[in-house]
Amino acid sequence: MLYSQDTTQFGDHEWLFDRKDALLHVRDRTLITMTTNIRDAINPHAVYSPGLAMSLDDNGGAVIDSFFGFGYTGLPVKGSAVYGPTETLLPSALDDLADLGYLRVPFKRIPRISASGVDDVVEIVRMAGHKYGADNLLFRGQTTEYYLHRSPAFCDLFYGDSNVLEPSLLPSAMRRKPSIETCMPEFMMWVQLWQETSLNLLGNRLDGLRAAVFEQMAAPVRNNWSEPRFYFQALALAQHYGLPSVGLDVSSDLNVALFFALREAVKSGKQKMHYRSVPSTCRPVIYILVREGTREYAFHDSVPFILQFGRPANQKAWFMHLGFGLASNAVADQIVAAIYLGASSSHDSIPEANELFPSPELDRLGTFLSSIGDLASEPLRAVLSDLYWVEDNY
């Protein structure tokens, strides 16, 4: 077996780590390829870290942090802090606002900022846009923040601090069964069938010149079915209609992120949900992320405009595809700030649930997927059972 999580691989150091640390031992690092989503460099360390030396002899293998894809020829010695002590890292554009300290990812600190209300968030986003470019910003809202919860031993060895907070943005596919690999080919088939049916219905309503123009508009849709980009299009749709995904939902619209930070979904019947204000015990968070250029893509770029309706379109959705292989949490690299709101925060700009989740009458793809029923395979039926319709807020 090439990859092993057996802590005995670490010899005298086996007592240090457990499975939640996600350290993998690779017996032959020459077999590591980019398809495993590992970073190019081996033995990377921060400029101002105390140093880098291995406590184990180099036997041709590697120890990989499978949350972030960084590999080392062995275990760093105690005190190395290879990801950089927080206090030595270069400040970011928003560090002056970091009244709650920092989140940590390898080689980077992320300012944690408190906001008294939505207007504060808007101002922080304005400042981030000035630094990084407003068009480069994406947003994710969560009712609560999640962490990797790695052992103090790991955090001390790699960060020089046993109490660091590493944000967890692990994709849902890691937590749910059946896997996306099991369902995706069939899901793509159904999406193609729906698109073809929709195009035929639209085309049949037209005649003459209008029909000819429509055929020109529809041609790129049909061409996409044989192109790799159709897979990404289907992934963007799957994320919104119940399938376990290998990516992360974000939005180019701050107000959409605010909705998902300040509203929680509550079941109100079979495949029905309400959204309501989060309870006072919650501490909602807004992540500001900066586009990297190859890891993410916009729904409106992956789906032809004549079929741009439904949940992803209304939510101005972007899909960040990076949660796979040996870098399952690497999306967290792109966070540049975490903003924390009070649960009672509100603002006129926050949309209503039915604006982001159209009704069955307006969401034709959702209606089609709900109608498949026993025609789908058992794995696809299982995941489509999570497709829910949203009623008004309460």
Give yes or no for residue 299 having a pLDDT over 90.
no
- For the segment 203-239, what is each residue's pLDDT rounded down to a tens digit? 888 888 888 888 888 888 888 888 887 887 888 788 7
* Distance between CA atoms of residues 95 and 250, nearest Å: 23
Contact 316, 256 (CB under 8 A): yes
Q: Tell me how far the alpha carbon of residue 45 is from its chain's centroid.
A: 25
Mean per-residue pLDDT for 14-29?
Answer: 75
Please tell me the predicted confidence (pLDDT) of residue 333: 93
User: Out of 35-49, 163-177, 273-287, which region has the weakest mean confidence (pLDDT)?
Assistant: 163-177
User: Out of 192-196, 249-253, 379-383, which region has the weakest mean confidence (pLDDT)?
Assistant: 379-383
Residues forming a β-bridge with 319:
249, 297
Give the up-direction half-sphere exposure of residue 194: CA atoms within 13 A in the CB hemisphere.
19
In the three-class reduction of DSSP (H, G, I as helix; E, B as strand; rest coil), residue 38 is classed as: coil
Task: Quote the pTM value.
Answer: 0.90
pLDDT band at 173 (very low <50, low <70, confident <90, very high): low
Rg (CA), the chain: 23
| Residue 147 DSSP one-character state | B
Give yes or no for residue 108 having a pLDDT over 90.
yes
Give yes or no for residue 317 having a pLDDT over 80.
yes
pLDDT band at 339 (very low <50, low <70, confident <90, very high): very high
Please tell me the predicted confidence (pLDDT) of residue 100: 97
User: Out of 4-8, 162-166, 314-318, which region has the weakest mean confidence (pLDDT)?
Assistant: 4-8
Give yes or no for residue 393 having a pLDDT over 60.
no
Q: What's the mean pLDDT when you consider all of the chain?
A: 86
* Distance between CA atoms of residues 90 and 106, nearest Å: 13
Give the helix, strand, coil percentages of the chain, each rounded to 5. 40, 20, 40
> For the purposes of burial, counting CB atoms within 10 Å of the CB of 321, is it exposed (0-12), middle (13-18) or buried (19 or more)?
buried
State the sign of the Cα–Cα–Cα–Cα dihedral 246, 250, 251, 252. Answer: negative
* Distance between CA atoms of residues 77 and 93, nearest Å: 32
Contact 389, 369 (CB under 8 A): no
Mean per-residue pLDDT for 281-297?
Answer: 90
User: Out of 2-16, 123-137, 154-168, 250-264, which region has the weakest mean confidence (pLDDT)?
Assistant: 2-16
Please tell me the predicted confidence (pLDDT) of residue 293: 82
CA of 374: how far to CAs of 178, 180, 244, 282, in Å? Answer: 17, 19, 20, 40
Q: Where are the alpha helices (DSSP H) in 139-253?
A: 152-159, 180-204, 208-224, 229-240
Please tell me the predicted confidence (pLDDT) of residue 227: 84
Please tell me the predicted confidence (pLDDT) of residue 172: 63
Mean per-residue pLDDT for 299-327?
Answer: 79
Please tell me the predicted confidence (pLDDT) of residue 11: 45
* Distance between CA atoms of residues 150 and 205, nearest Å: 59
Q: Which residue has the tokens 């059946």?
A: 178
Give yes or no for residue 15 having a pLDDT over 70.
no
- Helix H or strand E encompassing 132: helix 118-132
pLDDT band at 301 (very low <50, low <70, confident <90, very high): confident
* Distance between CA atoms of residues 379 and 381, nearest Å: 5
Contact 393, 276 (CB under 8 A): yes
Where does residue 208 fall: left (phi above 0), alpha (psi -120 to 50 degrees), or beta otherwise? left
Q: Tell me how far the alpha carbon of residue 257 is from its chain's centroid.
A: 13
Most confident of 47-56, 72-81, 133-142: 133-142
